[in-house]
Amino acid sequence: MPAYNEGKHIYQNILETKRVLEGLSGDHEIVVVDDGSRDDTLSEIKRAAREIEGVKYFSYPENRGKGWALKRAFKLSSGDTVFFLDSDLDIHPRQFRALFQVREQTHADVVIGSKRHPLSTLSYPLSRRIISSAYFFLVKLLFGLPIRDTQTGIKLFRREVLENIFPRILVKRHALDLELLVNAHNLGFRIAEAPVVVDYRGRFSRIGPASIWTIFVDTLAIFYRMKILKYYDRPINKCAETPLVSILISFREPGPLLSECLAKIGEMDYGNYEVILLPDEEMTWEGEKVSVVPTGPVGPPRKRDIGSSRAKGDILAFIDDDAYPQEDWLTNGVRRFCDDSIAAVGGPASTPPTDDFRERAGGRVLSCWMVGGVHIYRFIPKMLKEVDDYPTSNLMVRRSAFEAVGGFETPFWPGEDTVLCLKITRQLGKKIVYDPDVQVWHHRRPLFRAHLAQIGRYATHRGYFVKRFPETSRRLNYFLPSLWTLFLIVGWLPLSLFSGGLKLYAGLVLLYLLAACMTGARSLNFKATLVVAAGIVSTHIVYGLNFIKGLLLSKLPEEKR
């Protein structure tokens, strides 16, 4: 039962659900997840857990959406049969029995309550009926599902269905139901429909225009991932082993975001880990699994080498102190190491939705196609793939491979990850895999000054690496910002020699600015559009000029802080 701002009703609704379950045969449990409610939902859930036998709960401070809540609830559950039930009880849990009966009659793996079943009884406003019908026809057109409803808030699953599907799921809000059912159908599980009685309680306002737009966009995204990218067809490794993972975090001195990072690490669903903090000076930190190794004033590569020498884990997991992991970060990463040919695993470092405006703008600049380009998967989840260069903001490395190449053992920062990855792939002949499910949330530098300073450092090192490490740095995509910047600065000069040349130059620049504005317009917010567009243009120019600077340097400063 996912719950958001249900403080007035949740206790009684849990109690009523418990009453219904006691009338059914077999053992049962109720798992409730508070999805960042702003009222007293959590305290009421805790009261239910104290007073009602068999109630489990979980909570997190920010609202992440129904999909996220259901994934977390499933991990806490243990039953062979799993029901999803909306916590507002618009659909009463007494209808569990009807879904059980349909499963017995049809031997289906999934049984869903369907408002469009001919025996369903609806107390439902006309506006919602219209929207529901329109969505049905859209889903039928895109996916051809053999069912007439996907969004009704009561569903029954055999556990094995969710064990196969949840590792593939990306949607975290309203279109989660569709993504589950599309994947179940795609994997060959049988889906049946049951009639429902819907007692509408006048809270349609929860699904307003913004939610409808989100559902529409998410639905198209599911279609794109399934039909175009074939994202859901990727293999999902299952590994029974839970090796010790050493999480290494390097920093000069503890900042305000370190506490958040460690708190989120403590909430992970993978328990066999240790955390090694690598500050310059001695510090104290309470925590059963946390140890502190002061390194002195050295750069991040040297810090990580020192930390790795103290680590006990079979896998080394690197994360920045201004980032924090998703709950299943280690679970999803460790499973990839069941393949002996894989030496390292990386995943997306996405911008937290709770960041302030300028930080989110910086994240949007990095994650847009005009800046991220072929590396956009580093910032937002994309297809599983093999890579040969990945940043240490979210990188796990098999310890035996790390030691075989001598660790980082490099004076370069940033760029130490490029050197390590190059040694893993070229010297050892091992694989580095990008897995979209190995996700962390990385706070960004705010636009403009801090963001551009960071971009400039990255560009200088990449330009220098073109000469030093051409195997992974002498690639066209790294040169494009410089070529475009040179065109902006001097391109008008040769074109002015031709009739209409200046008009061509102005037209190309205008198209470029228009593309930047359109890219920045995803939020439908005028201020955000202008800021992101300006961020794209300034990022291209700063990167382009500093890349050229790196190309011209004979040597980079060592251990630069």
DSSP secondary structure code for residue 387 in this structure: E
Q: Answer whether 151's CB lies under 8 Å from 66's CB.
A: no
Which residues are within 8 A (CB) of 289 and not within 5 positions of it... i.e. 6 or more apart? 273, 274, 275
d(CA 430, CA 423): 9
d(CA 32, CA 48): 10
Mean pLDDT of the chain: 90
Task: Look up the CATH number of domain 2-233.
Answer: 3.90.550.10
d(CA 172, CA 185): 20
Tokens representing residue 550 in the block: 């790196």
The reply to whether 2-233 and 245-446 are identical in fold is yes
- Does the pLDDT value for residue 223 go beyond 70? yes
d(CA 403, CA 313): 12
Nearest to 121 by CA among 152, 164, 146, 83: 152
Which of the four pLDDT bands, split at 50, 70 and 90, describes residue 185?
A: very high
Task: Look up the CATH number of domain 245-446.
Answer: 3.90.550.10
Average pLDDT over residues 486-492: 93
pLDDT digits (tens, 9 = 90+) for 385-416: 999 999 999 999 999 999 999 999 888 888 89
Which residues are within 8 A (CB) of 294 and not within 5 positions of it... i.e. 6 or more apart? 278, 279, 280, 281, 282, 283
Q: DSSP labels for 70-112? A: HHHHHHH---SEEEEE-TT-SB-GGGHHHHHHHHHHH--SEEE
Average pLDDT over residues 442-471: 95
pLDDT digits (tens, 9 = 90+) for 50-96: 999 999 998 877 777 888 889 889 988 999 999 999 999 989 999 99
Tokens representing residue 464 in the block: 């220098």
pLDDT digits (tens, 9 = 90+) for 4-37: 999 999 999 999 999 999 999 889 999 999 998 9
Nearest to 347 by CA among 442, 269, 265: 442
At residue 290, the 3 state secondary structure works out as strand
- Determine the pLDDT at residue 201: 58
User: Tokens 């039930």 correspond to what residue?
Assistant: 85
Which letter, b or e, does each residue of 439-471 get, where b requires 16 or more Cβ atoms within 10 Å of its Cβ? bbbbbbbbbbeebbebbbbbbbbbbbbbeebee
At residue 379, the 3 state secondary structure works out as coil
Put the strands of the sheet holding 110-114 in their side by side order. 81-85, 154-158, 110-114, 191-195
- Determine the pLDDT at residue 123: 67
- Determine the pLDDT at residue 199: 73
- Does the pLDDT value for residue 105 go beyond 80? yes
Tokens representing residue 526 in the block: 């005028």
What are the residue boundaries of the structural domains of the chain, listed by start?
2-233, 245-446, 470-552
Which of the four pLDDT bands, split at 50, 70 and 90, describes residue 559?
A: very low
Average pLDDT over residues 504-508: 95
Nearest to 395 by CA among 431, 442, 433: 433
User: Tokens 């400063």 correspond to what residue?
Assistant: 557
Average pLDDT over residues 95-106: 94
Average pLDDT over residues 94-113: 95
DSSP H stretches of helix in 144-249: 159-165, 176-186, 209-223
At residue 185, the 3 state secondary structure works out as helix
- Determine the pLDDT at residue 238: 66
d(CA 301, CA 307): 10
d(CA 345, CA 390): 9
- Does the pLDDT value for residue 100 go beyond 70? yes
